[in-house]
Amino acid sequence: MAPSDETLTDIQRSVLEYVQSHLMQNHRPPTVRDVMRHFKWNSPQSARKHLLALEEKGYLEREENTARGLKIVEDSSVGISIPILGRVAAGLPLLAEENRDGTMVVDRSMAKGGKNLFALTVRGDSMVNAHILSGDKVIVQQTTHASPGEIVVALLDGEATVKTFRKTSSKIFLEPANPKYQNIPVNEGQEFRIIGKVVGVFSPR
């Protein structure tokens, strides 16, 4: 059932607006204690009660076993909730629960009509000249194909890396955007596959 604004009490509407605002500003949902502190309640139980009511009325969904497990339902206009991958394991499906490290909300325009968006936290400075810094989250459209010159997330020998995809008639290599680093050739016998194309960058700074 699609959520209906008429079903909300004034305080529930205020809590939902806070959750939406927090998601858009921080690209991650608030915790129960965030909600409690924002509304100056003395107990987290008050926050849980209103969040549960929003879940029951179809405005929020919750992922189990995580403090920031709130998700805006698909019918919400606030944006699209996508998984943050803490790691990418070669033997697991890309969006398997074991890979996930929470969620964040991105604007619907990033999806461009597609599905299977995910976010990945960047480590290191190899893409600084592409304005992708350590600690940033890249927003990735899941795909196994890319054109030369596109920034991709690739799995090379079990390790995920963010680089520019390059291809010649005889060679594939991954190009950093920092002169400190050399191109990474993909040699015969190495495990290599593209797992997505970068469609956006979120910087927490």
Q: Are 151 and 165 in contact (CB under 8 A)?
A: yes
d(CA 128, CA 203): 12
d(CA 130, CA 154): 17
Give how far the C-alpha of residue 170 lies from the chain's centroid of Cα atoms, to the nearest Å.
34
d(CA 201, CA 121): 10
55-64 burial code (b ≥16 CB/10 A, e <16):
eebebbeebe
Give the pairing of strands 151-156 and 137-142. unpaired
* Catalytically annotated residues: 126, 163
d(CA 101, CA 83): 7
As to burial, measured by CB atoms within 10 angstroms (0-12 exposed, 13-18 middle, 19+ buried), residue 142 is middle
Give how far Cα 69 sits from Cα of 32, 134, 200, Å.
10, 24, 23
